[in-house]
Chain A
C-alpha cells in the first residue's frame, strides 16, 4: 500500500530534487517573510522559471511545494515582529505572537512558532500519506457526473468559507470559470470569446493570468500602503532564537489539537490556511484559556494558529492529489502548474504517475525537516528581510513578472495582457473580492465543463445522470446544505437574541 511512498523517496532523494526541496524551503521562507508576498505570489513568480529550466514535472512540483510550505513558515515573521500579517493565513498569529515580541520574547516566539509549524506539518503529512491513497481508491469510482457534483460542492463550500462576502466569492468563481472558456473549444473547435486575437486561441495563458492577477495587482496595492509603516523603526530585537522543552511541553496539546483541526479544514475543498488558523485559535481559546491570557501573549495562542495553518497547507494537498480539486488558492496554482506539464491530478495519478504523487509527498517530509533546521538558527537572519524597503521590493517583483511572462513566447502581447489582468485584479481586490475563488474557477472551469459534457454525452442529454449515483446525490445535497445553512443561521440569530432579552 505504501509502495508509492518508497518509490517517492527514491525520487525525492536524488541530488537534484533534494537541492530543489532545499531551495524551495529557503526561497519560500524568504518570500513568506517579505511583506505582501504570500505563498501564491511566491509560486506565481517562480513558476515560469521552473518551467524554463526544463525541470521534469515531479522536480518542478517539489520546488513549488517547498515554496508553498516555506512561505507558510515565513508568513509568521512579520505577524510576530511587526503585527502585520504577511497573508491571510497569518492573521491569527498576530494575536498572541506580537504581544510576546513586545514583552521581549521575540526569539522564543519565533522558535516556538517554528516548532508548532513543524508539528502541524508533520501531523498533516502523516495524514496525507494515510488518507490520500484511500481516497484515491474511492475516487477511481468517480465518473464525469460525480466529478461535476464534486466541483459544485467545492464551489459551494468555498463560497461559504472563503472571504466575508459569499456573493462576491461566487461572482469571483464564475468570472474565473468564464475566463477559462476563452479559446478554441476542444469538443467542437468553435472559437469562444477570442475577440479575433490569435493569442487567445489557446485561452488565457496560465502564467499570464497568475502573474497579472497576483503580482501586478500586488504592486499596485503596495503603493497605497507605501508610507504606512517603517519596519526599521518598529521592529523589536529578535535576540537568540531559543525555545525550551518546557515551553513546547506546555503547548503540546494546543499544537496537536490544532494540527488535527488544521488538517481536516485543509482537506475540505475551498478552505485553506486562513480558515484553519482561525478555527484552531478559537477552539484553543475556548478549551484552555482559563485565566484570559489569550491575546496578551499566551504561548498556546501562538502555537495553535501556527500548527493549524501549516497543517491546513499540507492538508489541502489531499483533495488536489486524489481528486484533482484544489483545497486552496495556492494548491489551485500548483494544480495549474501540473496541467502545464499535461498532468491532470486525480485518482489515477497514484497509479499512473507515482513518481509525481509519491515524490511530492516524500519531499514534503524532507522539506519539513529542512524548514525546521533552517528556521531555528536563521530566524534572526530571515527577520532582516522584513526591513527591505518597498522601493527595492517593487521593482524586483516587476522585473520577475516581466521576464517570467516574456520568456514564455517572447511575446509583448502576453505582457500587455498581464498588465490588463493586473489592473482588473487590483480593481476587484479594492471592491472586496478575494482572488482565490477567481483562480479556483479559472483552473477548474475547463474540467467542470468537460465533465458535464462527458456525463451528458453518456446519457444522451438526459440531465438525470447528474443525480444517478449515491455519491452524486450526496455531493449535491451537501452543496445545497452549505449554501442554505448561512441563510437559515442569519434568520435564526435575531430571534434567538430576542428570546434571550
Chain B
C-alpha cells in the first residue's frame, strides 16, 4: 500500500511544484534594484522539488504501517475535538472548553469516565491559574457569562 502511497505523494508534490512555479512566475516587481528578484529562488525550489518527487514516483519506498479503520476513526475524533476546542475557545472561554476537551481527549485515549472528568476539571482549573496568575498570560473568559475573578 505504501508503494502506491509514495507514488500518489510524488504526483501530488509535482502538482504542488508546478503550482508554486506558476504562482512565482506571476510575481510582478515595480522597481528592481537587484538582478535576482523574488521569482528566481522559488522557481529553482519548485524545479528541485519536482525532480526529487519524480524519483519518488519511479522508486517508491517500502511498505509502511497504516492505521486500521478503528484507529482512523479515533484519529478523526481527536481532530474533531481539537477543532471544536479551537472554535469555542474564545466564545465559551478557556475554563469550560478546556474541561470538555480534556474530558473527551482522555476518553479517546481510553481513560475511565471518572478519571477523565477528574482530569478535565483539575487540568482546566490548574492550568488556568498557572497561566493567568503564574505567567501573566491573559486567557479568554468567554462572552456568555458575567466576568468574574
Contact = CB atoms under 8 A, between A and B. Distances in A.
B111 A431 contact: no
A51 to B, nearest CB: 11
Contacts of A227: 110
B34 A220 contact: no
Interface in B32-64: 32-38, 41-42, 45-46, 48-49, 52-53, 55-56, 59, 61, 64
B50 to A, nearest CB: 10
A244 B74 CA distance: 48
Nearest to A455: B36
Interface in B73-91: 74-75, 78-79, 82-83, 85-87, 89-90
B105 A395 contact: yes
Given A174-B52, A188-B38, A457-B35, A52 B20 contact: no
B71 interface: yes
B129 interface: no
Contact of A396 (B38, B49, B123): B123
A53 B135 contact: yes
A168 B136 contact: no
Given A181-B41, A190-B29, A457-B35, A394 B105 contact: yes
Contacts of B119: 391-392, 395
A449 B101 CA distance: 42
Contacts of B5: 431
A33 B115 CA distance: 23
B86 A431 contact: no
Interface in A31-58: 49, 52-53
A198 B47 CA distance: 28
B146 interface: no
Contacts of A461: 35-36
Contact of A171 (B37, B49, B66, B87): B49
Contacts of A396: 123
Contacts of A452: 36, 41
Contact of A390 (B74, B109, B137): B109
Interface in B103-148: 105-111, 115-116, 119-120, 123, 127, 131, 135-140
Contacts of B127: 399, 403
Contacts of A193: 20, 23, 42
Contacts of B31: 188
Given A174-B49, A398-B105, A419-B83, A220 B78 contact: yes
A407 B115 CA distance: 29
Per DSSP, are chain A's interface residues mostly helix, strand or loop, or mixed? helix
A178 B24 CA distance: 11
A370 B135 CA distance: 24
Contacts of A168: 56, 61
Contacts of B89: 402, 406, 412, 415
Interface in A167-183: 167-168, 170-171, 174-175, 177-178, 181
A488 to B, nearest CB: 17
B36 A456 contact: yes
A398 B101 contact: yes
A399 B115 contact: no
A391 B38 contact: no
Contacts of A416: 86
Given A168-B61, A174-B52, A178-B49, A456 B35 contact: yes
Interface in B7-27: 9, 13, 20, 23-24, 27
B106 A392 contact: yes
Given A389-B111, A391-B116, A403-B127, A167 B55 contact: yes
A402 B93 CA distance: 13
A390 B74 CA distance: 15
A223 B38 contact: no
A181 B42 contact: yes
Contact of B36 (A220, A399, A457): A457
A340 B24 CA distance: 27
Contact of B82 (A165, A192, A419): A419
Interface string A220-256: 1011101100000000000000000000000000000
Contacts of B109: 222-223, 226, 389-391, 394
A187 interface: yes
A52 B83 contact: no
A30 interface: no
A170 B115 CA distance: 45
A395 B9 CA distance: 31
B66 A430 contact: yes
Nearest to A226: B109
A178 B21 CA distance: 11
Contact of B90 (A190, A412, A448): A412
14 contacts: A174-B52, A181-B42, A188-B32, A193-B20, A224-B75, A390-B109, A391-B116, A403-B137, A415-B89, A416-B86, A419-B82, A432-B2, A457-B34, A457-B35
Interface of B: 2, 5-6, 9, 13, 20, 23-24, 27-38, 41-42, 45-46, 48-49, 52-53, 55-56, 59, 61, 64, 66-67, 71, 74-75, 78-79, 82-83, 85-87, 89-90, 94, 98, 101-102, 105-111, 115-116, 119-120, 123, 127, 131, 135-140
Given A391-B116, A394-B109, A416-B86, 6 more contacts: A174-B52, A224-B71, A403-B131, A431-B2, A432-B64, A453-B34
